[in-house]
């Protein structure tokens, strides 16, 4: 049985900006295996974010297919697509996207509020486990604006993991961090990948971080290069 969890097959995506067309992806193919940690490396405008949005079911390709666990996401209903995003995929964003009026515990708990089957006690257990994994349990009642950038990004990692997803997508998660904090964050994600066996795909343009990553896929001008897809 194949370990393939995500399959991207000859995917094309074009956006229109005013009178211009931007060909963001030009026939990208990629396979992510279960439990794999992969870095998508490329310059700004290379298509990294577009590919993450497509894999995360936030957008649809113009041509080609994206399969998650063998299912073509283009054939999913809106309800099935939302269910896949909320249950199977965790997102980590460059700008943290924490809610300023919620404390750390409440920010991490937020995606669990859509899981009606979970009791308050079960939600609390999940949140405390996720915060423990990122070494922030003692900060659970802090407000986001009282945290450092690295701590806020660790809260974002905990929030991505709290739903116990099969896949975590991280779009330039180190871009707003200094080099030392960025390296620590990548080490943490690799450690959690090994501990939880969750498939990770994160994008970056920082070549210095690549020595810490098990697998690298390079993307340039909307195409994967170097034969590493």
User: Contact, 37 vs 193, CB < 8 A?
Assistant: yes
The answer to whether position 209 is within a domain reads: yes
Residue with tokens 């995360």: 56
Structure token pair of residue 150:
């690295």
pLDDT in tens, 21-78: 889 999 999 999 999 999 999 988 899 999 999 999 999 999 999 999 889 998 889 8
Q: Is 181 exposed, middle or buried (0-12, 13-18, 19+ CB in 10 A)?
A: middle
Which pLDDT score, from 0 to 100, does residue 2 have? Answer: 57
Per-residue pLDDT for 19 more than 80? Answer: yes
Mean pLDDT of 129-158: 96
Per-residue pLDDT for 186 more than 50? Answer: yes
pLDDT in tens, 65-96: 999 988 999 888 989 888 888 889 999 988 88
Which pLDDT score, from 0 to 100, does residue 226 have? Answer: 56
Task: Answer with the residue of higher pLDDT: 108 or 4.
Answer: 108
User: Domain range holding 131?
Assistant: 35-61+76-225
Task: Give residue 113's pLDDT band: very low, low, confident or very high (50, 70, 90).
Answer: very high
Number of structural domains found in the chain: 1
The answer to whether position 29 is within a domain reads: no
The answer to whether position 191 is within a domain reads: yes
Which pLDDT score, from 0 to 100, does residue 229 have? Answer: 44
Backbone angles phi and psi of 5, in degrees to 5: -105, -45
User: Contact, 33 vs 215, CB < 8 A?
Assistant: no
pLDDT in tens, 145-161: 999 999 999 999 999 99
The answer to whether position 25 is within a domain reads: no
Which pLDDT score, from 0 to 100, does residue 135 have? Answer: 95
pLDDT in tens, 187-210: 999 999 999 999 999 999 888 888
CATH of the domain at 204: 3.40.50.300
Residues 6+ apart with CB under 8 A from 131: 104, 105, 108, 137, 139, 140, 155, 158
């Amino acid at each position: 049985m194949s370990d393939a969890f995500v399959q991207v097959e000859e995917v094309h995506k074009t956006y229109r900006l005013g009178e211009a067309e931007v060909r963001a992806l030009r026939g990208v193919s990629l396979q992510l295996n279960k439990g794999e940690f992969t870095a998508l490396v490329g310059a700004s405008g290379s298509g990294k974010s577009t590919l993450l949005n497509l894999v995360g079911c936030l957008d649809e390709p113009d041509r080609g297919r994206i399969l998650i666990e063998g299912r073509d996401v283009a054939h999913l209903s809106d309800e099935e697509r939302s269910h896949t995003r909320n249950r199977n995929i965790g997102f980590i964003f460059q700008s943290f996207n924490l809610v300023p009026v919620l404390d750390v515990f409440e920010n991490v708990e937020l995606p669990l509020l859509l899981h009606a089957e979970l009791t308050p006690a079960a939600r609390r257990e999940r949140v405390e486990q996720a915060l423990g994994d990122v070494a922030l349990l003692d900060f659970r009642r802090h407000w986001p604006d009282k945290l450092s950038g690295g701590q806020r990004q660790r809260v974002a990692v905990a929030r991505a993991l709290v739903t116990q997803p099969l896949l975590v997508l991280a779009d330039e998660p180190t871009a707003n961090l200094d080099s030392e904090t960025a390296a620590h964050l990548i080490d943490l994600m690799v450690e959690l990948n090994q501990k939880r066996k969750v498939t990770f795909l994160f994008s970056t343009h920082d070549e210095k971080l690549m020595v810490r990553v098990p697998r690298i896929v390079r993307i340039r001008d909307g195409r994967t290069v170097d034969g590493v897809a």
